[in-house]
Structure 1
Amino acid sequence: MAFRKRREALRSILSGSACIRPGSVYDATSIRIAEDLGFELGMFGGSVASLAVLGDPDIALITLTELAEQVRRMSRASDLPVLVDADHGYGNALNVRRTVQELEAAGVAGLTIEDTLLPQAFGVTGPQLIPLEEGIGKMKAALDGRGDPALVIMGRTGTRGGGAQASGFDDCLARARAYDTTGVDALFFTGLTTRRELDAIAAVTTLPIVLGNTQGELDDTAFLASRRVKIALQGHAPFAAATQAVYETLKALREGGSPKSLKGLASPELTGRVMRRAETEARAGEFLGLKK
Structure 2
Amino acid sequence: MKTVTQRRQAARAVLEGQACIHPASVHDPLSARIAEELGFELGMFAGSTASLAILGAPDHILITLSEFAQQARRITRAGSIPLVVDADHGYGNALNVQRTVEELEVAGIAAMSIEDTELPRPFGAPDARLISIEEGVGKMRAAVAARVDPSLCIFARTGAMSVTSKEDCIARIRAYNDTGTDGLFLTGVTTREELDAAAGAAKLPLILGTLSPAISDRDYLASRGVRIALQGHAPSQAAAQATHATLKALREGTAPSALAGLPEKGAMARWTREAPYSEAMKRFLG
Q: Which residue of 1 aligns with 2:112?
A: 111
Per the TM alignment, residue 203 of structure 1 is displaced from its structure 2 partner at its CA by 1.2
Q: Secondary structure at the match of 1:111?
A: strand
Given the alignment, which residue of 228, 233, 240 partners 2:230? 233
Q: Separation in 1 of the partners of 2:161 and 2:257?
A: 49
Aligned residue type for 1:11: R
Question: Superposition pairs for residues 1-292 of structure 1, below 5 Å?
Answer: 2-161=3-162, 166-289=163-286
Aligned residue type for 1:214: L
Q: Separation in 2 of the partners of 1:172 and 1:219?
A: 20
Q: Separation in 2 of the partners of 1:52 and 1:39?
A: 21
Q: Percent identity?
A: 55
Per the TM alignment, residue 282 of structure 1 is displaced from its structure 2 partner at its CA by 1.1
Could you tell which deviates more after superposition, 109-118 or 280-289?
280-289
Aligned residue type for 2:49: V
What do you get for the CA RMSD once the two structures are aligned? 1.0
Q: Secondary structure at the match of 2:104?
A: helix
Per the TM alignment, residue 160 of structure 1 is displaced from its structure 2 partner at its CA by 2.1
Q: Separation in 2 of the partners of 1:235 and 1:112?
A: 16
Per the TM alignment, residue 195 of structure 1 is displaced from its structure 2 partner at its CA by 1.1
Q: Secondary structure at the match of 1:198?
A: helix
Q: Separation in 2 of the partners of 1:17 and 1:285?
A: 46
Cα deviation 1:164-185 (Å, max 9, x = unaligned):
xx21110000000001111110
Q: Separation in 1 of the partners of 2:190 and 2:199?
A: 14
Per the TM alignment, residue 204 of structure 1 is displaced from its structure 2 partner at its CA by 1.2
Could you tell which deviates more after superposition, 180-189 or 265-274?
265-274
Could you tell me which runs of 5 or more consecutive residues in structure 1 were left unpaired when the two chains were aligned: none
Per the TM alignment, residue 267 of structure 1 is displaced from its structure 2 partner at its CA by 2.9
Q: Secondary structure at the match of 2:173?
A: helix
Could you tell me which runs of 5 or more consecutive residues in structure 2 were left unpaired when the two chains were aligned: none
TM-score normalised by the chain length of structure 1: 0.96
Per the TM alignment, residue 2 of structure 1 is displaced from its structure 2 partner at its CA by 4.3
User: Between Structure 1 and Structure 2, how many residues are aligned?
Assistant: 285
